[in-house]
Structure 1
Amino acid sequence: MSPRATATRAHGSRPGSRTGALPGREKTYNYHNLQHPGTLWYHDHAMGLTRVNLLAGLVGAYVIRQPSLEMTLGLPYDEEFDRPLVVFDRSFNKDGSIYMDPKGNNPTIHPQWQPEYFGDAIVVNGKAWPYMTVRRRRYRFRIINASNARFFNFSIDNGLKFVHVGSDSTYIEKPVTTNSFVLAPSEITDVVVDFSKSKSKSAILTNSAAYPYPSGDPVNTANCKVMKFIIKSEHESDTSTIPKTLIKYPPPSLSATGALTRHIALYEYTSPIDEPTHLYINGLSYDAPATETPKVGTTEIWNVINLTEDNHPLHIHLGLFVVLDQTELVDVDKFKECMSKYNDAIKCGVHKYAVGRKTEVPAHEKGWKNVFKMMPGHITKIHVRFSYIHSNESYPFDATAEPGYVYHCHILDHEDNAMMRPLKFTH
């Protein structure tokens, strides 16, 4: 069956309907949709239960379009050739219901929690290992990784390539061609694939990312395959194009007095037998008072220090950011020892340790992001903008209103226990 674009509202609902809601528990949220065009997704965010509710299917794609701007680019734009692909992994019981370990790794500490959920089947737009019949022409795929914990290293066989035109919720400045790319949980990439270049009648979208990423187990024969494209034989004219330039946004602006700089440290805690028990940001639980209180409309510099062995996709609510560089930490064990004692990057002399090799940011990820992969044993420097990036205008709502926002690792099992911190805005 062909995967189809996911609707921008919950399946089965109607505008104004209250299907499934409990009396007196409804709440209406209005989205202004004034930001730049791009691809987003929405999902449940219940404290401590996000991973469970997303496994149950509370996710959806959300595409914002601006025809007056986008039609001039010449990219595939028609609904038939512009498709969201919401990709995730699941395990199933024999009756078809979703399987999740009911006990978890440490049930006496955190019932039902496991460090990462990995499913046996790869699902695209609600169908396990689907196929899609395509014509010999360009297609645009807005690929959303909606997995709880699985990273994907996507490639496509038969010599086909990806042309990246967007990353997360924004366009990139110039198209970038790749043979493969890594997509973390909650990351989005917007690519064009030209099936007219295929010499065969089919192509397979595959995955080669280890799990956990980057140093876990290799993928098996089941989860290395994502979906199949059946390519029609007839060649046809294609009026779509890929322009040399796409959309350029203003660069991150710093005030005359300089931007506020923060150090954000990621920790993992284990039991005496080295079993993961929980994860914290800056050594603090979610319930601890907010320490990140940016002013609306400002730009800040965040140095994110990953002291764990996992790659953590960091997501900042209401913030878009540009990744400047990733630098390897040297003498990591010595630095960890100091951080475990003082939990203070400056006091521990982080700049003495952040002198290792630098990892280049992939060309297709050098634009504005709202999720990025924080490499283990590295410090990642980002410029975070707390306003609309296409105009530098403030939000059309009061961002300082309670209960506020959050930033967190988007491995849902980590977020739920408890790699998430409050984000409180000020004027």
Structure 2
Amino acid sequence: MKRRQFLSLGVATLAAPAIISRRTVAAEPGAPLPIPDVMEVGPGAGNILSAIKGRAELIPGVESDTLGYGQDYLGPLLRFQRGRTASIDVENRTDDPITAHWHGMHVPGYLDGGPQLAFGPGKTWSPELPVDHPAATLFYHSHVHGRTAEQVYRGLAGMIIIDDPEIDDPLPRDYGVNDFPLIVQDRSFDRSGRLTYDLGMMGRMQGFHGDDVLVNGAIRPKLTVPAGLVRLRLLNASNARIYDFNFTDGRQFHQVASDGGLLPSPAAMVNLRLAPAERAEIIVDFSDQSAIRLVSQNVGSGGMMGGGNNTATLDVMSFDVGDASTSGPVQLPGSLPATVSDLGEPVRTREFILNISSGNMISSMLNNLIGQDRQTMGINGEPYDMSRIDQQVQLGETELWRINADMMTHPFHVHGVSFQVVTMGGRAVNPAEIGWKDVVHVEGPTEILLQFDKPATIDTPFMYHCHILEHEDAEMMGQFTVG
């Protein structure tokens, strides 16, 4: 019997059927989409990002205990400009250590905001970020080891937009008019409508999956868009859920950017799959003025414990179309100001296996069932150790990393660099079609090509890890230096 099949049978034997108590407070869809305020972050003083405890009405009329950067839940949209230093003061006004990790940014390790840089209540971290990154949609969030999942779930996260004044962006870019951030998360609520984070055994092993989909902190909201081309910046900020986005009328749209920035040319598609922490910018033509909904197929976790995929549809948000068009572009260009450059031949190859249960699986499951211990996970058979450097990389060299998993699929993230995907599931892919990435969904043997040009020391190394946040907290992470 294969190990995967054995685990499915073991969990079926150990786990009693779940009894779901539905809440008595309704979560009505259709509230207007909240548009995050913008914080333009430059070299001067006065840019303050305060992590605070909040009381947010995620369900109207019911307050939940939340966290946020400068607000009750989530944070402002941070706007950086390439070539300018971004000076920012991150204050900790919560009760626990926090960080601010600039997910996807090319900065040295001492500015990255990883777990080694956690700082306690009442403290302030004041990094000066040299913005050396192409125009892109990035992600920021707390990254305290063992607490990342709950802190992000409670709201310590937000979106970053990097602008590049050296390029002529031919796409819609009037923020809040024809260019919209969509931070997509799944969350659960108790019977009274309060936000809840109860992991249980399955949540620990497969990552937490919520019952409701929020966009920018609102449950299944509505957005009124102009009749024309609209840019949607999609960020999967869920702890573990994979989305397969499409529109209810089956309309075609075009992807114009991935994690690390613009694609060389728009890519036509009718559905778009994003794993946790992946981003994509898409252009949707609303000139027909049809009211439609954005939905997602409910994608499973690759079959672990019988999880598999199922065909249930998740409502994400709806769109109404106004009468007026905007002064933005009326048609998509055939090409975009981006290229996937030649990184050259790799000087070495490294192998990574993402492991679930490097110890006794059944014992771990029993401990989880009775509320003891947490699921053992790791990479290459080793759980994360903050005092151990797992890899030493040479500055400026190109490497090939081969990643695979022994149980289920995982979104694999590397700090401090954007990479090119060479193969996925053992099949060759065209890196130009996928674009620059910092997260890759590992569903079978996967190869990525990386060139490291930012240093990281023993004291403040870079991380590589699964971006299912519960897995990251449960030790599926390693760290490396660049020098």
TM-score w.r.t. length of structure 2 = 0.70
C-alpha spacing 1:197/1:360, structure 2 compared with 1 (3 Å): farther
Structure 2 residue 171 is matched with structure 1 residue 75: yes
Q: Match of 1:278? A: 376
Distance 1:407 1:325 in 2: 18
2:233·2:281 contact (CA, 8 Å) conserved in 1? yes
SS of equivalent residue, structure 1 residue 136 = coil
Q: Alignment partner for residue 124 of structure 1, among 215, 233, 252? A: 215
Measured after TM superposition, the shift of residue 36 of structure 1 is 1.1
C-alpha spacing 1:247/1:76, structure 2 compared with 1 (3 Å): same
1:317·1:407 contact (CA, 8 Å) conserved in 2? yes
Measured after TM superposition, the shift of residue 174 of structure 1 is 1.0
Q: Deviations over 1:104-143 (max 9, x none)?
A: 329xxxxx94531010000000101101111211110110
The residue type paired with residue 4 of structure 1 is I
Q: Match of 2:448? A: 382
Structure 2 residue 228 is matched with structure 1 residue 134: no
Measured after TM superposition, the shift of residue 425 of structure 1 is 1.7
C-alpha spacing 1:364/1:3, structure 2 compared with 1 (3 Å): farther
Q: Match of 1:355? A: none
Structure 2 residue 153 is matched with structure 1 residue 63: no
Q: Match of 2:198? A: 101
Q: Match of 1:392? A: none
C-alpha spacing 1:142/1:213, structure 2 compared with 1 (3 Å): farther
1:86·1:124 contact (CA, 8 Å) conserved in 2? yes
Q: Match of 1:20? A: 93
Ranges in structure 1 where 5+ consecutive residues have no aligned partner: 107-111, 329-357, 388-394
C-alpha spacing 1:212/1:362, structure 2 compared with 1 (3 Å): farther
Q: What does 1:201-280 correspond to in 2, within 5 Å?
A: 202-213=291-302, 216=308, 218=310, 220=312, 224-233=314-323, 239-249=329-339, 251-254=341-344, 258-269=346-357, 271-272=361-362, 275=365, 277-280=375-378
2:170·2:336 contact (CA, 8 Å) conserved in 1? no
Measured after TM superposition, the shift of residue 29 of structure 1 is 1.7
SS of equivalent residue, structure 2 residue 240 = coil
Distance 1:326 1:23 in 2: 42
Decide which structure has greater strand share: 2
Distance 2:319 2:302 in 1: 27
Measured after TM superposition, the shift of residue 84 of structure 1 is 1.1
Q: Match of 1:425? A: 482
The residue type paired with residue 81 of structure 1 is N
Distance 1:6 1:251 in 2: 34
Ranges in structure 2 where 5+ consecutive residues have no aligned partner: 1-31, 40-48, 50-68, 77-87, 95-119, 369-374
SS of equivalent residue, structure 1 residue 53 = helix
1:326·1:361 contact (CA, 8 Å) conserved in 2? no
Q: Percent identity?
A: 30
2:412·2:439 contact (CA, 8 Å) conserved in 1? yes
Q: Alignment partner for residue 183 of structure 2, among 76, 79, 86? A: 86
Distance 2:411 2:436 in 1: 15
Q: Match of 1:325? A: 423
Distance 2:433 2:211 in 1: 29
The alignment's C-alpha RMSD in Å is 2.7
SS of equivalent residue, structure 1 residue 272 = helix
Q: Match of 1:295? A: 394
The residue type paired with residue 295 of structure 2 is T
The residue type paired with residue 326 of structure 1 is M
